[in-house]
A and B are shown apart, each in its own frame.
Chain A
Amino acid sequence: MSLHIDILLLYNLIVISSRKTPKTKHLVRNDIILIAVLLIIPIVSLILYYSGQSNPEKDGFVVITVKGDFYDKLPLYEDTVLVIETNLGVNHIEIRDGQVKMTHADCPDQLCVNHKAISATGEQIVCLPNQVVVSIEGPEGNLDSFSE
């Protein structure tokens, strides 16, 4: 009798404990395939992008567009400070030692000012509220295959 209860108790314990540990895993095989694809696409495009990239330090250009329209084009190797004034706002850009930095903007979020300095072809600083895009182009004047 007592043994019978013990076995019953043991059985219940096993059932309860097996119920408490969830059998479903967090990741299934399909998940890993999907996540791998989502990782491989950007990594491959980054590798393709950076392998086909020339260092434009001496011959690159800084191109500024406002509202999608061409605003100005400056050589990357000449240190200057540019003030962009439009009806949307004011942005200050500094070119120094082949690097471009947004030093001032009157936009509310200041994302462009906090953006790191850019120096490689295709890199950009964008100020969305003022619709200003600062990008670096190679000597040929067109961006590389990545953006085509």
Chain B
Amino acid sequence: MTKKITIAGIFTTLAIGLAFMERLIPVSFGIPGIKLGLANIVTVTSLFILGPVYALVIQVTRVILSTMLFGSAASLIYSLTGGLLSVAVMILLTKLKKQLFSIVAISVTGAVFHNIGQILAASLVVMNLNLAFYLPVLMISGVITGLFVGLVSSYLTKALNRSGLAD
């Protein structure tokens, strides 16, 4: 228990570090919302190493902390909606029949739903459903970044399991 909480703390710190690193990489495709989502590596890995409850707590904590540190108060609504929807869908997928999907696919779905959640929150804020115009582009970018994040998490989870840290 104590060990798990300690790992959860390290993971949260790692996520904030990754969020900061991502800000140093200037990526702009002319469309807001497309980004690497490096911090999602932590969310996906924690889901498989520590379980759904820890993953949820880490996700909420890291979204609130990194928004307070690097974002604005207004962006908290979008980040939190996206983050919660993403982790909820990923937890649901792991609860399905055993080993139906691997880490990579779960990460991809999580990334796509992260973007869907953000669009949903943004649509509600500006009261304009036409924001769905962005959705296809953001879904494709979610699949690509989700693949990358999923592969990293897959390697990381295997390494952590072998090291015995997760027991």
Query: Residues of A with Cβ closer than 8 Å to B?
Result: 22, 24-28, 30-31, 34-35, 38-39, 41-43, 45-46, 49, 65, 67-68, 108-109, 111-112, 114-116, 122-124, 126, 128-129, 131, 133, 135, 143, 146-147
Is A115 within 8 A of B100, CB to CB? no
Is A26 within 8 A of B104, CB to CB? yes
Q: Is B137 an interface residue (CB 8 A)?
A: yes
The majority secondary structure among interface residues of chain A is mixed
Query: Residues of B with Cβ closer than 8 Å to A?
Result: 28, 30-32, 72, 74-75, 78, 99-105, 108-109, 112, 122, 125-137, 139-140, 142-143, 147, 150-151, 154, 158
Q: Which residues of B contact A28 (CB under 8 A)?
A: 99, 101-102, 105
Other A-B contacts than A65-B126, A124-B131, A131-B126, 20 sampled, CB-CB below 8 A, are A26-B103, A26-B104, A26-B150, A27-B102, A30-B105, A31-B101, A34-B109, A35-B147, A42-B135, A42-B136, A115-B30, A115-B31, A126-B122, A126-B128, A126-B131, A129-B72, A129-B74, A131-B125, A146-B133, A147-B132
Q: Which residues of A contact B140 (CB under 8 A)?
A: 39, 42-43
Contact sample, A vs B, 24 pairs, CB 8 Å cutoff: A26-B104, A26-B151, A28-B101, A28-B102, A30-B100, A30-B105, A31-B105, A38-B108, A38-B109, A38-B139, A39-B139, A39-B143, A42-B137, A67-B126, A108-B72, A109-B72, A114-B28, A115-B30, A122-B130, A124-B131, A124-B133, A124-B134, A131-B126, A133-B126
